[in-house]
């Protein structure tokens, strides 16, 4: 296995989106155009925390022609891009009223067999080169089939690569079948998938155990305003988060995943990775930009994240 101290992460972001957001600055509206989607927001936070990302993605169509140069400009990122024949996804949001209003959104068209083959081979090679991979989800499950994630997780793991997944539903079931190093998931996703009947602590502890038994070595469950729960080395912990005033609730989970990855990429222990992930997620909600946060602030907040043992996993 490659030495994990050089701080490299491969992020699989198969279908990034072009994001257009209207903001209000004093008396004038402002237009912000950025690349977005789960893998992109994770990438931003990972690079903020000092690790290098190889981003494996696909883009195409009229939207893709705008999106591609924006992806290439992401700092601290090596872009490996597959050009598609058809359109990438996009959304337009209006935040002038203080809350996010969705105006219109398209997740993008499903990847073709040829596009998938090219993206798969590229992702496998870069994941093995990095030694640590994040499998992030598409904007809509129709864009890429769960089977692709199952094969990627299996091929990466069997060749010595640590795999982190931030997925739910059928895509999550697929990677659990292959086995993964770390799973990050929200309590809302556990309830929606039927893995937990409700958001109570006993129900979520049972869900943690279930996910561990079915293929996830470490499991981290975020709980919105409450502290997270984590299963690490067979022990379940409550994760007490710093109390901060939110400016934007979206993106906290992606920043949590990114914080975990950044620490593991530098060879850090899992408990430190979970504490850093919790701090990065907590900090992200104080900012309007998704997947953003200053490294010094994350470090200070990490010192205030407390992991308290709750029970041994059965």
Strand segments (E) across the chain: 8-13, 17-25, 28-36, 52-60, 77-84, 88-94, 101-108, 132-136, 162-166, 180-186, 216-223, 226-232, 235-240, 306-312
CA 218, chain centre distance (Å):
15
Q: Using the predicted structure, report yes or no on whether residue 122 has a pLDDT greater than 90.
A: yes
- Distance of CA 91 to CAs 77, 106, 238, 293, Å? 23, 6, 36, 23
What range does the domain containing 83 cover? Answer: 4-312
d(CA 307, CA 221): 13
d(CA 207, CA 201): 10
Whose CA is closest to 142, among 114, 166, 108, 185? 108
End-to-end Cα distance, the chain: 30
Cβ burial of 312 (10 Å; 0-12, 13-18, 19+) is: exposed
d(CA 132, CA 116): 21
Indicate the pLDDT class of residue 5, thresholds 50, 70 and 90: low
How do 162-166 and 28-36 pair as beta strands? Answer: unpaired
pLDDT at res. 296: 82
The predicted model gives 221-230 an average pLDDT of 86
> How does the average pLDDT of the chain come out, rounded?
91
Q: Using the predicted structure, report yes or no on whether residue 59 has a pLDDT greater than 50.
A: yes
220 contacts 182 by C-beta, under 8 angstroms: yes
Whose CA is closest to 34, among 94, 1, 74, 77? 74
CATH classification of the domain holding 74:
3.40.1190.20
d(CA 48, CA 68): 21
15 contacts 84 by C-beta, under 8 angstroms: no
Counting residues of the chain whose pLDDT is more than 70, the rounded percentage is 91
pLDDT at res. 250: 53
Q: Using the predicted structure, report yes or no on whether residue 6 has a pLDDT greater than 80.
A: no
Number of domains in the chain: 1
Indicate the pLDDT class of residue 244, thresholds 50, 70 and 90: low
- Choice between 201 and 1, residue whose per-residue pLDDT is larger: 201
Sheet holding 88-94, edge to edge: 28-36, 17-25, 88-94, 101-108
The predicted model gives 201-207 an average pLDDT of 96
Indicate the pLDDT class of residue 290, thresholds 50, 70 and 90: very low
Tokens of 230: 């984590």
- Choice between 286 and 82, residue whose per-residue pLDDT is larger: 82
Tokens of 292: 């953003």
The predicted model gives 216-239 an average pLDDT of 92
Tokens of 30: 């402002």
Indicate the pLDDT class of residue 183, thresholds 50, 70 and 90: very high
pLDDT at res. 150: 98
Q: Using the predicted structure, report yes or no on whether residue 286 has a pLDDT greater than 80.
A: no
Using H for helix, E for strand and C for coil, what is the string for 108-128?
A: ECCCCHHHHHHHHHHHHHHHH
d(CA 40, CA 36): 5
Give the pTM.
0.91
d(CA 277, CA 108): 29
């Amino acid at each position: 296995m490659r030495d994990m101290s050089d701080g490299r992460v491969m992020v699989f972001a198969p279908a990034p989106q072009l994001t257009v957001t209207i903001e209000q600055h004093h008396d004038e509206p402002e237009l912000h155009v950025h690349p977005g989607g789960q893998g992109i927001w994770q990438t931003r936070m990972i690079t903020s925390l000092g690790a290098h990302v190889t981003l494996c993605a696909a883009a195409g169509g009229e939207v893709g022609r705008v999106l591609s140069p924006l992806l290439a400009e992401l700092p601290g990122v090596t872009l490996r891009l597959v050009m598609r024949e058809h359109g990438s996804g996009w959304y337009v949001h209006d935040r002038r009223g203080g809350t996010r209003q969705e105006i219109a959104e398209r997740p993008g068209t499903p990847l073709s067999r040829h596009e998938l083959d090219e993206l798969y081979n590229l992702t496998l090679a870069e994941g093995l080169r990095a030694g640590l991979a994040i499998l992030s989800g598409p904007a809509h499950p129709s864009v890429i089939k769960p089977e692709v994630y199952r094969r990627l997780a299996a091929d990466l793991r069997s060749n010595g690569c640590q795999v982190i997944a931030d997925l739910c539903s059928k895509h999550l079931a697929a990677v659990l079948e292959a086995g993964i190093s770390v799973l990050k998931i929200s309590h809302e996703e556990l309830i929606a998938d039927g893995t937990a009947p409700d958001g109570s602590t006993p129900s979520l502890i049972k869900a943690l155990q279930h996910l561990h038994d079915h293929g996830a070595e470490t499991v981290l469950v975020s709980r919105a305003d409450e502290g997270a729960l984590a299963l690490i080395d067979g022990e379940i912990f409550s994760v007490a988060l710093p109390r901060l005033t939110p400016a934007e609730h979206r993106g906290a989970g992606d920043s949590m995943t990114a914080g975990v990855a950044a620490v593991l990429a530098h060879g850090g222990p899992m408990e430190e990775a979970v504490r850093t992930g919790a701090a990065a997620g907590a900090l992200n909600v104080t900012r309007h930009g998704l997947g953003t946060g200053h490294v010094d602030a994350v470090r200070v907040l990490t010192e205030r994240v407390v992991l308290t043992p709750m029970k041994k996993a059965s």
